[in-house]
Structure 1
Amino acid sequence: MMKNKKKPIRNFEQERAEKLSELGSHLRQVRENQDLSLEDVAARTMIRSGMLHAIEEGKLQHLPEPVYIQGFIRRFADALGLNGAALASDFPTETNMRLFKYSSWIHLSPPQLRPIHLYLVYIFLIMCSVNGMSYMINRSVVQVSGLDNKQELKNQPPQGNQAPTGQLAKVENASLLKNVANSNQAVRVGLTLKAESWIQIVADGKIEFEGVLSEGTQRSWEAKQQLVVIAGNAGGVLVAVNDGQAKQMGEPGKVEEVTVKANPQS
């Protein structure tokens, strides 16, 4: 009688940590070969140097959810002149783990497949194809809409306390800073969540909040000198500076960072 051999169960969390350590070591080596400091890369990517250090050291526990880590890796690699998309795709997320489990099942099961199984697989593949086409169409609509909004904002300068949108990597709007200084008020940023997103708030160099905010949440923070807002799903976050008009931080699913500074009165 043949005995069934038990297949070892993959520890995806351990695999994720090992892959992060491998990618981080490679990125650190490339960065050092280019004689760049973490601060140099942080200025290019608008990712805090602490997060870049955690990626290089493979410290998974100091980083947000896997999908956001993947975005950080892509921006890190792009800043070094590497193929960021290819490197980021090597980092395991929930999506590619599910694909791996499915492909592993297909690979191990052919001797036991029956017609009903083949039929179910065929239906599953059709559903995946339809969902994929729907996603690509929706993504194209979102990108076109985003380009139209960026062009409109480019032709019309910001008014009052409105912060510029699109790629809100850093707020350096002169009229905004002037109004903050003249009113002698602390910098105040309000967030409204249209969709769930991981958020980090740094006020005057101190982390005031870091976590996931659900859809419909409204929160605000103040700082005397500078406020930094990092959103994992920029398309689901509306940001308003000093009670000005709220603007979308960026595209859905993209990691963006916005910095608001107050000029000291002379």
Structure 2
Amino acid sequence: MSSPTVFDPEQIQKLTELGAHLRSHRTKKGLSLEEIATKTMIQHRFLEAIEKGNLEVLPEPLYVRGFIRRFAEAMGLDGVSLSESFPLGKAHVGSANAKMLGAGSTALRPWHLYVLYLAAVLGAVALLYALFKPADSTSGTVGASRPSPKASVAAAPKKVVAAAKPKPAAPVQAQLNLKADSYLDISVDGKPSYEGVLKTGTARTITAKQSIQISAGNAGGVMLGVNGQPAKLMGKPGEVKDVNLTPSSR
């Protein structure tokens, strides 16, 4: 079990200043925390903790930056500038965040294993196809009557096409594979589904009828496959990224 994050005085002071600024701007615009939570998909308790400068409720500094950016942008402020003014501090150096950003050599090992596993699966599929194809071409020659060449040639492609075209299990489907630890906030059909840190090596499949919203605190650590398509990295290491998936997403 990982030890809790310890924040330094500079981070506490800066969050207090940023929180007061965001709260003042929100009240001037007549917005409630519930409205901000709906726009940003950030839990109400985290938004309240930012405004009060209460770091004990919040996750690690990297994720706090992402919250500040989305909070500010929801009100028309410069979210990038405000979020980058919050220091990552000593808690960021040498901690689990270093692995999430790909700084340590050990963060590469799950990716190597994933590539080797994918290569082994593709090799096995190719071998099975090579063994299966001759059996189809010769099976029609056994028996009292010999089928015409046109019949045997037409039958083979139908089996290959049917086997090569996967059907999604639901109108919207997302496959997540974690190559590095990452904070994820997931909503399914507009309702919160999961929020927290998923560890390296975790794999999840998410289905929905209309839409899936995913916010990643470390986009470079998340492999995302959409509606049966090959998985790709959501973004760069340490990047905070939001995606909205629908039945037409690829």
Given the two structures, how large is their TM-score scaled by the length of structure 2?
0.52
Going from structure 1 to structure 2, the CA distance change for 1:81 and 1:258 (only over 3 Å counts) comes to: closer
The one-letter code of the counterpart of 2:243 is V
Matching residue of 1:5: none
| Partner residue, 1:70 | 65
Offset of 1:47 from its aligned partner?
4.5
Structure 1 counterpart of 2:116: none
Say yes or no: does 1:236 pair with 2:231: no
Cα distance in structure 2, aligned partners of 1:83 and 1:96? 25
Alignment of 1:102-121 (within 5 A): none
In structure 2, the CA distance between the partners of 1:58 and 1:229, relative to structure 1 (3 Å rule), is same
User: Quick one: distance in 1 between partners of 2:184 and 2:58?
Assistant: 12
Q: Counterpart in 1 of 2:233?
A: 248
* Contact 1:38–1:49 under 8 Å retained in 2: no
Q: Deviations over 1:116-151 (max 9, x none)?
A: xxxxxxxxxxxxxxxxxxx9xxxxxxxxxxxxxxxx
The CA distance in 1 between the partners of 2:78 and 2:172, in whole Å, is 38
Which string of whole-angstrom CA distances, capped at 9 and with x for unpartnered residues, describes residues 57-112 of structure 1?
A: 445355332111113213433554545455334434234887xxxxxxxxxxxxxx
Residues 168-207 of structure 1 aligned to structure 2 (within 5 Å) = 185-207=170-192
Q: Deviation string for 1:172-197 (max 9, x for gaps)?
A: xxxxxxxxxxx893532111223221
CA distance, structure 1, for counterparts of residue 10 and residue 81 of structure 2: 18
CA distance in 2, matches of 1:88, 1:41: 16
Matched, 1:28 2:23: yes
Q: Give the superposed CA RMSD.
A: 3.8
Shift of 1:231: 0.8
What CA distance in whole angstroms lies between the structure 1 residues aligned with 2:191 and 2:9? 31
TM-aligned CA distance change 1:94 to 1:240, over 3 Å: same
CA positional deviation for 1:235: 1.9
Aligned residue pair count: 170
How far the C-alpha of 1:27 sits from its partner, in A, is: 0.6
Is there any run of 5+ residues in structure 2 with no aligned partner, and where?
A: 1-5, 94-102, 104-167
Q: Which has the larger radius of gyration?
A: 2
Query: Would the alpha carbon gap of residues 36 and 251 (structure 1) be closer, same or farther in structure 2, given more than 3 Å must change?
Result: farther
Q: In the alignment, what sits opposite 1:87? A: 82
SS in 1 for 2:180: coil
1:96 to 1:90, Cα distance in 2 relative to 1, 3 A? farther
1:187–1:84 CA distance, 2 compared to 1 (3 A): closer
Find the partner of 1:55 among 26, 42, 50: 50
1:64 maps to a residue whose letter is P
Q: Deviations over 1:14-51 (max 9, x none)?
A: 7645543432221121133234555775687x453634
Contact 1:47 1:257 in 2 (8 A): no
- TM-score of the pair, normalised by structure 1: 0.49
Give per-residue Cα distances to partners, 1:143-163, cap 9 Å, x unaligned. xxxxxxxxxxxxxxxxxxxxx
Deviation of 1:238 after TM superposition, in Å, equals 1.8
Residue ranges of structure 1 left out of the alignment (5+ in a row): 1-10, 99-134, 136-182
